[in-house]
Amino acid sequence: MNDRVAIVIVSHSPDVARGTADMVRQMVGTEISLAWAGGNPDGGLGTSVELIMDAIQAAWSDAGVAVLVDLGGAETNTEMAIEMLAPDRQKRVVICNAPIVEGAVMAATEAWGGGSLEEVRRTAEELSPV
Amino acid sequence: MADELVSLDRTLIATLIERVADHVMAHAEELTALDQAIGDGDHGINMKRGLTAVMADIESISAQPLPGALKAAGMQMVMKVGGASGPLYGTLFMGLAKELSDTPTRAEAVAGFGAAIEAVKARGKARAGDKTMLDVLIPVHAAAADGADAAALRRVAAEAAEATIGMQARRGRASFLGERSLGHMDPGARSCQLLVEAVCDVLEDAA
């Protein structure tokens, strides 16, 4: 459906995840595939492997999916979600080591410009402190 | 003895799960308080959510042989906990599921436990001394490998959890605190200690 890299945003807070997605939409537009997952399985603060898997599948692009996460549990749960995808999909999903809001906007901009999954990741990670 | 550890029938598997869930959930507020000091303050709540999901499924979980039961319980933890402890406990249980037979001998249980700990290390990118659940699991495993009985294992677990008070966190949210993480027990180490206590109680009663 899309030859551009997709973006997924994972935050402990549904509000942060949704708000970050809104910013990406406004700054980068609707031409890239984008989904978010926020909150634990009860809707409180936390992350859910199931919701993260759903978001990755919903945003899916054969060009790959770049995931932006906030704090530790979001990363661990995203790694678990990736491992639970079909084997041929697992290697086309990467977690970007970048601040979630800035990273999502930068990754989406690179994706919109047609960057490969590795380029998208690198662009987002340029924002990271060394 | 090279005989099987205990006879792991359906009733014992159900008892193991219930006692672990009861014991950890009875300390949920304490775990949350520990996590408020150095983490994000949800460990007790998260463990309770995961274990409640396991208990809701106990009929179908305990109807399976040990590996299947462990895998199903681990999957519930992964899906329902809502924090990093979900994948970490899930990996521990599913790691055991992968290694153990339906009726493991003590030696097989110790070896399987060791392999499951390696899987937890990989999942959490952590090692001994990082102030995590591993700081209870690793010494308990070493004591079990040395032939310790249930009473000794409970003691090792308690001392190991206590020892995390003096450690500086290198993983998880607590690592942001640097030296300020000193002086607090790690919540994951404490929940692991509770897990070990409950398992020891059940195996002791069944022996």
Model pLDDT for residues B12-65, shown as the tens digit of each residue: 999 999 999 999 999 999 999 999 999 888 999 999 999 999 999 999 999 999
Nearest CA in chain A to B170: A72
Test B90 with A79 for CB contact under 8 angstroms.
Answer: no
pLDDT at residue number B1? 42
Chain B CB contacts of A47 under 8 Å are 82-83
Tokens of B91: 């990996």
Test B83 with A71 for CB contact under 8 angstroms.
Answer: no
Is pLDDT at B3 greater than 70 in this prediction? no
Is pLDDT at A1 greater than 60 in this prediction? no
Chain B CB contacts of A44 under 8 Å are 45, 82
* Å between B83 CA and nearest CA of chain A: 5
Test B46 with A45 for CB contact under 8 angstroms.
Answer: no
Average pLDDT (B177-205) is 94
In chain B, pLDDT over 70 holds for what percent of residues?
A: 97
Task: Tell me if residue A12 is catalytic.
Answer: yes
Class of domain A6-125: alpha beta
pLDDT at residue number B10? 84
Which listed residue (A4, A12, A92, A121) is catalytic? A12
Test A46 with B82 for CB contact under 8 angstroms.
Answer: yes
CATH, range B10-206: 1.25.40.340
Model pLDDT for residues B122-161, shown as the tens digit of each residue: 999 999 999 999 999 999 999 999 999 999 999 999 999 9
Element spanning B56, H or E:
helix B43-56
Chain B CB contacts of A11 under 8 Å are none
Test A48 with B79 for CB contact under 8 angstroms.
Answer: yes
For chain A, what are the domain ranges? Answer: 6-125
Neighbours of B60 (CB within 10 A): 11
For chain B, what are the domain ranges? Answer: 10-206
Going along A30-81, which residue ranges are E strands? 34-38, 65-69
Rounded to two decimals, the ipTM of the complex is 0.81
Whether chain A has a CB inside 8 Å of the CB on B69: the answer is no
Alpha helical stretches, state H, B57-105: 58-62, 66-80, 85-99
C-alpha triplet A10, A12, A16: angle, nearest 5°: 75
**Maximum Cα interatomic distance, chain B, rounded to a whole number of Å:** 48
Nearest CA in chain A to B39: A72
